[in-house]
Structure 1
Amino acid sequence: MNLGALSHLPSGKTAAETTASSTAPQTVSPSIPAAAQRGASCRKHHDAWLGAYVRTLVVLDALVVTAAMLIAYVLRFEDATWSPPTVAGSFSPSYLAVSVVLATAWFAALELGRTRDHRELGSGPTEYARVFRVSWQLFALVAIIAFVLRLDMARGYLAIAFPVGVVMLLGARHLARRRLVARRRAGSCMTTVLVVGEPPKAADLIEQLGSNPASGHHVRGVCVTSSAPMVDEVAGVPVLGGISDVVAAAEQIGADKVAVTGSEVLTSKAVRQLSWDLEGSGVELALAPGLAEVASPRVQTSLVNGTALVHVDEPQFSGSKYFIKSVTDWVAALVLTVALAPALVGIAALVKMTSPGPVFYKQERIGRNGVPFLMWKFRSMSVGAHEMRHELSHLDEGQGALFKVKDDPRVTPVGRVIRRYSLDELPQLFNVLRGEMSLVGPRPNLPDEVSTYERHVHRRLYVKPGLTGLWQVSGRSELSWEESVRLDLYYAENWTPFGDFLVLLRTIKVIISPTGAY
């Protein structure tokens, strides 16, 4: 279960009594007034930093969209006289007026599109995706309006405003997020959470919420169901009571959010009553349906006779989306190959001059649907390195099917440098041009590594292997085999074009500041 799978309900509190009658394994502290004061103070602090952060985003968005429209206006109409240029057509507003209207509409769209929703702040990809989606939808609407009103708007004007604005918006959000994440890693700007449910499921949720401090969730208490055995704590978090004590426990610890996991006792009627009890308190209610490794694009919610059903779409591994991905990969690889040609030639010369042997190293790897292919790399090891692998098996630091030696004696001096900055991988652009690889995807493994795969790991072969991927930008060789597999399977089942774009951006950062590469 991850936080992205939480389905939020309206928050608040009334005097209604909870319908769930249970005997708490451990009741909350009797000194509720003092505890409640501390809890209220914590919630007030949370609201203060959250409000300040949202206001910062409001100011940044306003400055960015204004700057984007100004840049587009100046660059497109740099030769304009004191008479402002106007849009051609039956209705001919000035481009200055259009810029003001479009900037205002863009700013409003960012608000209406919930890009500053506090539940997504600091989430990274989800927040960025919302900003991108709202922006392109706005410009698509502008194009439709221009067509309907027969306005012949300058294409260069929009072609400048959209990419410049999006890049600046994402850049501003990234800088704001980095600051927020730094503060969260230091223990501030956190959302206090009370988890409700059976101990095993509550423990899983606590582990997930605490696995990434950047998400900003700090679980300070647990309320367990009456069917659970008597326990004092769950996953190191104190148990504050049972179902009937949720509201009091939330008040005691100053919870900003109550996260409910699945339980036989927590019926729909009990959850509805809990939402009523929290009404007006400022405490959010979130339901954790237990959907592990499922991204939000595959999750749809519908109402059937007043009951919310969460639908999970089946993963797709073919179709128009993958065709577009292949075309985009080929075009991008061609552009990158031409742009990086001087660097490719320079690295090839260094490899040739500093160690005997060929410039390129071709090795059989397993591609999509288990089809083998020859993967290209700049040679970073001495000739015959693969045959020496068995001699170094006692030095293997890899896990699972991966073979890794940190201070590998087979690596040449130049090889250590190009491996550290992943420059040895650049010839795989040729594999992308041949249709054997993608720019982003799971890394291709050796045949003998694939032969050791467990059944579920074979799912990573449903998509083309990539030149870079999620695990490369999430720790590289420092990750365990299990974590690498988890990231690869998550990518294979949940990838999106915008997600690929973010992985490529993170790859640039990893190359510039390499960690975990050897």
Structure 2
Amino acid sequence: MGQGKLVGPFPSTPGRLAAGAIRQLENDWEQRYRRTVITSDTVATALVVASIGQFFGARDAANWHEKWGILAFGTELLVLGALAVSRAWAPAVLGQGAEEFRRLGRALFTATVVLALGGIALTSRNIKLWIFVAIPAIALVTMTMRYLLRLWLHKQRKYGRCLRPVLAAGSTATVRDLIARTRKFPHLGWRVEAVCTPDGLGLDGDRLDDVPVVGQLEDVANHVRRDGYSVVAVTADPHWSPDRLQRLAWNLEGSDAEMVVAPVLMEVAGPRLHVDGVLGIPLLRVSMPTFSGGRRVIKGAVDRMGAAVLLVLFAPVLVLVGFCVLVDSRGGALYRQRRVGKDGREFTIFKFRTMVTGAHGARAKLADRNEGAGLLFKLRNDPRVTRVGTVLRRYSLDELPQLLNVLTGSMSLVGPRPPLPEESAAYGPDIRRRLLVKPGLTGLWQISGRSDLPWEEAVRLDLRYVEDWSLALDTMILWKTLRAVLRGQGAY
């Protein structure tokens, strides 16, 4: 391998070759992880299909091969084929955000439709079993296995393993921002290992935030080919004209590197971004955020049905918590407060009382001790909070009565944090976009640190949700909320 010929004007040194070989070896984890996911999906589908086929086929042994064996085998092939066609095994989405589960769901929905049409064409009486039992069971098992594999992957990344080596190229300010984000969120799988800047210099000579600056922006392709980086992250800089970006893309052809260009619209992502070729020009098309329509109707129906089910399931907990609140301190069990909802309409929010009676009136005396970010008022050791209230806040049990607000339609299960009237009155035009959707019982702020978040970050997360909302994102947030509640981080 040391005798390989490398492209570029720089000499081939043993040190360079060793670095590239090591990175190539480290990058093999991606293919191993992909093979593990494919094996997991295949085994999970086979087990579900075989279990259903064996159980029901045993009751009709005479026609096992004709009626059950063929359907079982066909269903498995159909599901695996749909996963492949939907690119649910693409390395770019495995372990990343909601897109992985969105593609998995799309594949299973496609398999369901094809199975239903096939059943109609073949006039099969047993097709309903595979549509309403087998496919949902496969979805449950495969999504659970995917989530467990993702937890393992994120744990590895927390300790610096299974990371993709990144060469960042752009202005000093934008590259520094990228470095900070990758370090703050290691579970995303990027590690900036080298930097190219316009003048080939960093803030500390040949380093930028402890990352080596290896050259100027014109040198990017040579360094990628020589040192084996997985990702080339191009950040904003006047140097990057359309011609230069196109030339860089050409120069990276034949390498294993993925070129990623950070658009100017940094906070718009997910299903709203589309690349279209118009008149031979690649254009980044940004669709309008969805504030109404069919998906919102589905979201509203899921909210109300989910709230009703959760109220029934948590009924004993609600009764027990209410009793503890009454015994612990004088006053009612529930606390009612005016909040601002969708389109600026006020509503009454329900919570379990966690403070002594008259706590709101005593807030002015504690104003100089405020530890909350921005417009929020928060104290880590608030003297107004009762003993039971401390426990309720830590595990967010005080918010369970808000399921009544979700049931009546003033709130959603997932959405921005519902602000107080005095908070919303101080909102600028940008922040008021939070009010374009219903506030939520949980949201991105809930799973990202809650009260520990800086005000700007909390606002950014809420606006990101408003802009990029999807059913898959809602599902992911609800799933992660349980872990955030159990950890109790940022809850006070």
Give the TM-score normalised by the residue count of structure 1: 0.87
1:101 has 2:81 as partner: no
Choose which of 104, 108, 124 in structure 1 pairs with 2:97: 124
Match of 2:256 in 1: 282
Amino acid at match of 1:160: V
Match of 2:310 in 1: 336
Shift of 1:53: 1.3
Match of 1:57 in 2: 37
User: Contact 1:196–1:222 at 8 Å: present in 2 too?
Assistant: yes
Shift of 1:263: 4.2
Shift of 1:252: 4.5
Shift of 1:72: 3.3
Return closer, same or farther for 1:193/1:166 CA change in 2, 3 Å cut-off.
Answer: same
Amino acid at match of 1:274: L
SS in 1 for 2:288: coil
User: Contact 1:68–1:165 at 8 Å: present in 2 too?
Assistant: yes
Shift of 1:364: 0.8
Match of 1:139 in 2: 112
Shift of 1:192: 1.0
User: Contact 2:166–2:194 at 8 Å: present in 1 too?
Assistant: yes
Partners of 2:14 and 2:164 in 1: how far apart? Answer: 21
Return closer, same or farther for 1:227/1:265 CA change in 2, 3 Å cut-off.
Answer: farther
Choose which of 354, 374, 399 in structure 2 pairs with 1:425: 399
SS in 1 for 2:430: helix
Choose which of 338, 341, 347 in structure 2 pairs with 1:373: 347
Amino acid at match of 2:137: V
SS in 1 for 2:259: strand
SS in 2 for 1:506: helix
User: Contact 1:191–1:256 at 8 Å: present in 2 too?
Assistant: yes
Partners of 2:177 and 2:391 in 1: how far apart? Answer: 41
Return closer, same or farther for 1:439/1:218 CA change in 2, 3 Å cut-off.
Answer: same
Match of 1:462 in 2: 436
Choose which of 471, 474, 479 in structure 2 pairs with 1:505: 479
**More deviation in 317-326 or 224-233?**
224-233
SS in 2 for 1:195: strand
Deviations 1:328-387 (A, max 9, x none): 211221222222222222222222222221111101111111111110011111111111
Match of 2:408 in 1: 434
Return closer, same or farther for 1:201/1:411 CA change in 2, 3 Å cut-off.
Answer: closer
Return closer, same or farther for 1:244/1:366 CA change in 2, 3 Å cut-off.
Answer: closer
Match of 1:156 in 2: 129
Deviations 1:380-405 (A, max 9, x none): 11111111111222332111111111
1:211 has 2:187 as partner: no
Q: Give runs of aligned pairs for residues 478-517 of structure 1, distance below 5 A.
A: 478-517=452-491
Which of the two has greater helix per residue? Answer: 2
Return closer, same or farther for 1:236/1:306 CA change in 2, 3 Å cut-off.
Answer: farther
Give the TM-score normalised by the residue count of structure 2: 0.92
Amino acid at match of 2:43: L
1:390 has 2:364 as partner: yes
User: Contact 1:460–1:489 at 8 Å: present in 2 too?
Assistant: yes
Match of 1:191 in 2: 164
Aligned length: 487
User: Contact 1:14–1:278 at 8 Å: present in 2 too?
Assistant: no
Higher relative contact order (CA 8 A, sep 6+): 1
SS in 2 for 1:474: coil
User: Contact 2:351–2:399 at 8 Å: present in 1 too?
Assistant: yes
1:82 has 2:73 as partner: no
Amino acid at match of 1:80: R
Return closer, same or farther for 1:458/1:240 CA change in 2, 3 Å cut-off.
Answer: same
Q: Give runs of aligned pairs for residues 196-275 of structure 1, distance below 5 A.
A: 196-225=169-198, 232-275=206-249
Partners of 1:292 and 1:281 in 2: how far apart? Answer: 27
Partners of 1:297 and 1:48 in 2: how far apart? Answer: 29
Shift of 1:316: 2.6
Partners of 2:30 and 2:251 in 1: how far apart? Answer: 24
Return closer, same or farther for 1:71/1:353 CA change in 2, 3 Å cut-off.
Answer: farther
Shift of 1:420: 1.5
Return closer, same or farther for 1:355/1:85 CA change in 2, 3 Å cut-off.
Answer: farther
Deviations 1:292-313 (A, max 9, x none): 1212200111112332111011
User: Contact 2:195–2:213 at 8 Å: present in 1 too?
Assistant: yes
SS in 2 for 1:286: strand
User: Contact 1:197–1:260 at 8 Å: present in 2 too?
Assistant: yes
Shift of 1:226: 6.6
Return closer, same or farther for 1:436/1:166 CA change in 2, 3 Å cut-off.
Answer: same
User: Contact 2:193–2:212 at 8 Å: present in 1 too?
Assistant: yes
Partners of 2:51 and 2:469 in 1: how far apart? Answer: 33
SS in 2 for 1:241: strand
Amino acid at match of 1:70: A
Deviations 1:404-451 (A, max 9, x none): 111222122222222221111111111112211111111111112222
Q: Give ranges in structure 1 of 5+ residues lacking alignment.
A: 1-12, 18-27, 87-92
Return closer, same or farther for 1:233/1:306 CA change in 2, 3 Å cut-off.
Answer: farther
Match of 1:90 in 2: none
User: Contact 2:99–2:472 at 8 Å: present in 1 too?
Assistant: no
Shift of 1:472: 0.7
User: Contact 2:6–2:226 at 8 Å: present in 1 too?
Assistant: no
SS in 1 for 2:335: strand
SS in 2 for 1:140: helix
Partners of 2:173 and 2:447 in 1: how far apart? Answer: 31
Deviations 1:74-111 (A, max 9, x none): 55x2761422458xxxxxx4222211121122223223
1:48 has 2:22 as partner: no
Return closer, same or farther for 1:371/1:69 CA change in 2, 3 Å cut-off.
Answer: same
